[in-house]
Structure 1
Amino acid sequence: MSNAFARTAHDIGSRALTWLHTHRAHGALSPSVRAELGRDADAYKTVGELTLAASLVLRGGVAGTTELALARELLEHCWHQLGDGSLLYERLLRHPLTTDAIETYAHFARSGYRFPELERLIAHTVALRSTHAVEHVPNRRLAVANAARVIGLDTGPGAYDWDGLTRATWLGATPEPWHIDWLTGYSVTHTAFHLTDWGRLPGGLPADIATYLTHWLPVWTDIWAEAGHWDLMAELMIVGACLPEPWTEAADWQRLAAVQHEDGLVPRDAQPVDDEDDDDPARRFDAHYHPTVVAAVAATTALTRALDAPWQPGS
């Protein structure tokens, strides 16, 4: 990545993080949701995704002082939204076959936020046969394995068969690349994210999969850029930063910068942002926070790999 690309990525990430921080209250949990967190994982999905973005900014350590402070404040906000971890504990205790509490907690754990009772419950849960046998889609099973790895619970009875989990995914089969569709595209990106822990462990991609992605990422990225699906395009850009030899294209960063709004929002697709959304900040946030999260993560992972920032052991 040249200095010009690095500046573009930095600007995209900084604006995206600022927008997420400024509008974080729109993703807050209502009292009724907090009381019924065990009912629906989607109720706190937004909080989990904000946590992911903030945790990766802090982990990478390549952002400026202002951005690092915003990420820490955003993470604090999300942690308090979840009762400093207590709501995740209640969710997993009442619904032991769900995985979202484990996945969400891992984002906090990588940033030093720990809840001992929850960790003991997770350690018990990941050691159960039922946890390994539950019928999730393959890339979600990898998500749980990576979460256990981040928390430090991927050994002993809770150990995961990484090769077996990998080969069960669409990407693991390295199939005919022209048969990819929109939903499979997201499965591909998340398989790469979890195998590498969002770029921290690029060697987690088997050699044949890394070669396959190196060949086909440019094609897929162009396809979804042409379709104006900025969310998936940016996710594929993250995958490029997860490769053993990071891949990036100037045109992708220029396209992402061109569609980003001045306030930092990244639209989900090529459709104009609804005028009604401009009059309803909460609706605007709900419609476009995810691609803005993805843009922040893409910038962070690309800069971290490009600058070869040192990773802290166990981070």
Structure 2
Amino acid sequence: MTDSQIIGLAQQVGSKSLRWLHSFYEGGLGGFQEDVTTDLANPNEIYKPLGEVALATGLLLREGVAGADDTRIARQVIDLAWAELREGDLLYDRQLRYPLMTDPLEVYVHFARAGFRHRALEEQLATLNRLHSVRAAEQLPSRRLASANARRVIGLDQLEDWDELAAATWLGATPEPWIIDWLTAYYVTHSVFHLTDWGARPECLPPHIRDYLRDWLPAWLDVWQEVGHWDLVGELLIVAACIGELDHGATGWAALASAQQPDGLLPKDANTATQGDPAQLLTDHGHTAVVAVVAATTTLARALGGTTGVPAGAPTVAAGAPPEN
């Protein structure tokens, strides 16, 4: 498959996935109830998906490789997501209440990439960034990378030893590649995402890790294509873009295009129902749509040369005086 064919499939799958997501958020699904509090009894239900959709749309806006219609749709979706988070006030409140939690930082960074800023939250994060207690909090190595990259993107003081962070991961050890399992594969992909800031900093991936991925990524793609786990296939396609090996993803893009339904729904796997209640469909397959948009964006950016910057006219929201509690 030629590079132009890969680009064409990536554009097709990514655009259809973006429009599928847009149909839900424009229609009012995917948002909080009016009485939501910072306790967020089930963060994975709405809060985490809002961050994920902001990731996908924020990267699309950062790279500047989408057409005018997709760019407009991405801006609409991220605007809706920011409004659901009360323009950052919910993140501020949650970080204030739970200072050892990193999810407010990890969610906020996706909006910051697109030009949304919350002054009070950033001041709070800067204070926490200097505390030994916060930095010593126990986390999975890939999550520690996520926090470090978020601080890097937002512009907080960099106190991390990136080589040490990378070495602490499963991927950093470059172990026997045939022992990898489903969960570890997700850790691998996210280690790459955060080390390279979703492909914007490919030079930040240690050479021995890049070589290891070049050798074994095709085999891993074959495994999860064979079992029809399209969500993980999409994540591995992002890795292929991050390391500059677009040809590694040729069969993966063809497989995703074949699995995608006419309305844009991309199943997370070959076994989950793709018909039924719209809210359940968003819950089951929303992450895969996000992954498809990110995979398409990073693939196009590497192939065509993205802007890696905020598009002209993007908002810079410096709102967010500490709310009264």
TM-score range, shorter chain: over 0.9
User: d(CA) in 2 for partners of 1:60 and 1:37?
Assistant: 34
Name 2:18's counterpart in structure 1: 17
CA deviation vs aligned residue, 1:39-89 (integer Å, no higher than 9, x gap): 553240111111101101101100000000000000100000000000000
Alignment of 1:1-315 (within 5 A): 2-24=3-25, 25-32=28-35, 34-37=36-39, 39-43=41-45, 44-155=47-158, 159-244=159-244, 246-271=246-271, 273-275=273-275, 277=276, 280-312=277-309
Equivalent residues of 2:63, 2:309 under 8 A apart: no
Structure 1 residue 255 displacement after superposition: 0.4
Two-structure CA RMSD over aligned residues (Å): 1.7
Equivalent residues of 1:154, 1:160 under 8 A apart: no
Structure 1 residue 7 displacement after superposition: 1.2
User: d(CA) in 1 for partners of 2:44 and 2:133?
Assistant: 23
User: d(CA) in 1 for partners of 2:149 and 2:10?
Assistant: 26
Structure 1 residue 98 displacement after superposition: 0.5
User: d(CA) in 2 for partners of 1:5 and 1:161?
Assistant: 36
Query: Please, what TM-score do these two structures have when normalized by structure 2?
Result: 0.91
Higher RCO by CA contacts (8 Å cutoff, separation 6 or greater): 2
Letter matched to residue 304 of structure 1: A
Q: How many residues align?
A: 308
CA deviation vs aligned residue, 1:146-192 (integer Å, no higher than 9, x gap): 0000100133xxx1111111100000100010110000000000000
User: d(CA) in 1 for partners of 2:208 and 2:190?
Assistant: 17
User: d(CA) in 1 for partners of 2:308 and 2:188?
Assistant: 25
Q: Which has the higher helix share?
A: 1
Letter matched to residue 13 of structure 2: I
Q: Which runs of 5+ in 2 are unaligned?
A: 315-325
Equivalent position SS for 2:116 = coil
Equivalent residues of 2:170, 2:188 under 8 A apart: yes
Structure 1 residue 8 displacement after superposition: 1.1
Equivalent residues of 2:3, 2:247 under 8 A apart: no
Structure 1 residue 272 displacement after superposition: 5.3
Structure 1 residue 245 displacement after superposition: 5.0
Equivalent position SS for 1:225 = helix
Equivalent residues of 1:214, 1:247 under 8 A apart: no
CA deviation vs aligned residue, 1:205-260 (integer Å, no higher than 9, x gap): 10000000000000001101101110011100100111155553321111000001
Letter matched to residue 80 of structure 2: H
Equivalent position SS for 1:249 = helix
Query: Please, what TM-score do these two structures have when normalized by structure 1?
Result: 0.94
